[in-house]
């Protein structure tokens, strides 16, 4: 599939808008509370790396995140952590 230059520009602009808006996103309080309990439970359970990976896999499946999307998100998170 070939993309025209204008289509490619639109895709890049959309990605830039999404990336810049991630810093401004706020998590709703009830989700933040549940997420905190979830993370604390995992840390307190002292699970093996394999079990942690299985939990992460279930979370990604629940959010319907494909492996392609995951790679994009990983790059964005790495960039955010480096700054």
The H-assigned helical ranges of the chain are: 5-22, 29-45, 49-62, 67-82
CB 73 within 8 A of CB 65: yes
Per-residue model confidence as pLDDT tens digits over 46-70: 899 999 999 999 999 998 988 888 8
Q: Is the pTM of this model over 0.75?
A: no
Cα–Cα distance between 16 and 29 in angstroms, integer? 27
Q: Has residue 37 got a pLDDT over 90?
A: yes
Domain ranges of the chain: 27-82
């Amino acid at each position: 599939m070939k993309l025209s230059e204008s289509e490619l520009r639109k895709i890049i602009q959309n990605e830039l808008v999404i990336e810049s808006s991630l810093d401004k996103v706020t998590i709703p309080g009830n989700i933040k509370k549940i997420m905190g309990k979830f993370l604390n439970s995992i840390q307190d359970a002292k699970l093996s790396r394999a079990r942690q990976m299985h939990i992460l896999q279930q979370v990604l499946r629940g959010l319907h995140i494909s492996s392609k999307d995951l790679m994009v998100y990983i790059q964005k998170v790495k960039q955010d952590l480096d700054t």
